[in-house]
Amino acid sequence: MYSIDTATKLHQSFSRPVQVSALADFLADEEIDIICRQLGHSWRSRIFTPAVTVRSMVYRRLHPDKSIRAVLADMVAGDDRIERTPATTSWCEARSRLPDPLWPKLIGDSTARLQALAGRRYLYFGRPVYLLDGSTISMPDTHELVDVFGYAKHGFSRFPVARITFITHAGTEAVVDYRLDRYRTGEDAQFRAMWDRLPDECTLLCDRKFCSFYNLAKLSRRGISVICPLHQRRDPRRLIANGKKLGENQWIVWFDLASQSRRKYNDLSLPTRLCVRLIRIRFVRNGKPSELWLVTTLLDHIGSPCSSIVDLYRSRWGIETRIGSLKTTLDMNVVPSKTAQGVRCDVAATILAHNLLKLTDFMPRGVFPGGE
C-alpha cells in the first residue's frame, strides 16, 4: 500500500525549487488573515488556517506529483509543529471554506508587486501593454462538472471542458485577470467581463476574434489602443478602396456599424462609423508569399510608426507561451478536482503560482518580501 511514510521518502529524493516554508515569504499569514477579515471570513485555530491552506494549494500546483498526500507529506517534513500527518479530507474541507473573493485579491496583489518591480519598463510610447487570449481546460467526468461546464466533443471522447480567457501584462508576463466559464461561453463575452481590469490609456494586443466594431469603439472611448488582425468577415481590399493611404502598406479606413449589430448590443452610445488604421504585413510562409492585415486604433502614423506596431504585435505570441506554461509546466491542462469549487480553486492557485514564479524572476538575488 502507498503510505505517507513512503511518499515522504520519495519526495525527499528530488530537489524542490520551491518549498512550503519558502512560500510564506510571498504569502504571509498576516497578509492573508487581513484579507480574510476584510471579506468577513472567520476561522478557528487549527492546522489549516487560511494562510496555510492557500500556501499548500499553491505548493501543490508547483509540485511534480500534484497529489494531496504528497503536499501533506512535505508539510509534515518541513514543520516540526505538526506532530502527525493531517487527513486529506481535512485539507479538502479547509479548501472549501476559503472565501471565493480571496483568490482574485491575491492574484491582483501579485500582479501589482510585479508591475511595481518592473517600473516603467515594457512601455510602448509611455503606455503599458496587455495581451488577451483564450483557451480551454479539461477535468474529470463527473455529473457536477458536466452540469457546470458542459461537454466538448473531440473525436469519440466526451469529457467536461471549461472555457478560460486571460489578460496578461506584457513584459512581466503576470496574469492580471481571467474568466473561467462553461465551454460554450464566448471568449468575447468573457473579455467584456474583464474590461475594468484594463487601465485607461493602455495598449491591448489580441486575436482577430476580438476585432469587433463594438470592442474597438468602446475601448477607444477609454483611450485604450487596440492592435489585432482584421476579422475574416471584413474585406481589406474594399476597405482600402474607400480609405486614405498613409504610406507604404498602411491606410486610414472606416468601419461601418451594421444595423444588426446595433440591434444586438442595443447601445445608443455606439458611433455609426469608426476610424482605424489598416496595416499590411507581407511575409513568406513555407516558401509561399503570404500577408496579414492588422487593425489598430493608433491613428498617428508618425508617433506610432508602422514598423513599431508590427514588432509589438509579434510579441503577442508571448501569451501563447504563458498559456502553454500554465497548461503544461504547471499541469493546468487537466484539472484533477471532481467538484466545480475544487476546479475553480485549483485554477486560481495555478495562476497565483505562475505570478509568484514570475515575481522571483524580477527580484534581485537574495532579496525576498520582508527582507533587507
pLDDT band at residue 360 using 50, 70 and 90 as cut-offs: confident
Nearest CA to 180 out of 338, 35, 354, 335 is that of: 335
- Residue 15 has a pLDDT of 33
In the predicted model, what is the mean pLDDT of residues 234-254? 93
What are the C-alpha distances in Å from 3 to residues 6, 69, 297, 337? Answer: 5, 9, 60, 21
The one-letter amino acid code at 98 reads L
What are the C-alpha distances in Å from 195 to residues 78, 166, 189, 222? Answer: 42, 12, 10, 10
* 360 or 54: which leads in pLDDT: 54
Task: Reduce the secondary structure of the chain to three states and give it as a string.
Answer: CCCHHHHHHHHCCCCCCCCCHHHHHCCCHHHHHHHHHHCCCCCCCCCCCHHHHHHHHHHHHHCCCCCHHHHHHHHHHHCCCCCCCCCHHHHHHHHHHCCCCHHHHHHHHHHHHHHHHHCCCCEECCEEEEEEEEEEEECCCCHHHHHHHCEEEECCEEEEEEEEEEEEECCCCCEEEEEEEECCCCHHHHHHCCHHHCCCCCEEECCHHHCCHHHHHHHHHCCCEEEEECCCCCCHHHHHHCCEEEECCEEEEEEECCHHHHHHHCCCCCCCEEEEEEEEEEEEECCEEEEEEEEECCCCCCCCCHHHHHHHHHCCHHHHHHHHHHHHHCCCCECCCCCHHHHHHHHHHHHHHHHHHHHHHHCCCCCCCCCC
* 46 or 371: which leads in pLDDT: 46
- Residue 333 has a pLDDT of 82
In the predicted model, what is the mean pLDDT of residues 240-251? 92
The model's pLDDT over 290-343, given as tens digits with 9 standing for 90+, comes to 899 999 999 998 889 999 999 888 877 655 666 666 666 667 788 889 999 999
The model's pLDDT over 90-134, given as tens digits with 9 standing for 90+, comes to 999 999 999 999 999 999 999 999 988 888 888 888 899 999 988
* 249 or 79: which leads in pLDDT: 249
Residue 368 pLDDT > 90, yes or no?
no
Residue 56 pLDDT > 70, yes or no?
yes
Q: Are strands 288-296 and 250-256 parallel, antiparallel or unpaired?
A: unpaired
Beta carbons of 121 and 169 less than 8 angstroms apart: no
Which residue's entry shows cell 515569504?
A: 25
- Residue 178 has a pLDDT of 95
Beta carbons of 167 and 194 less than 8 angstroms apart: yes
The domain limits of the chain are 1-99, 102-199+318-372, 207-315
Beta carbons of 142 and 176 less than 8 angstroms apart: no
Give strand pairing partners of 152: 159
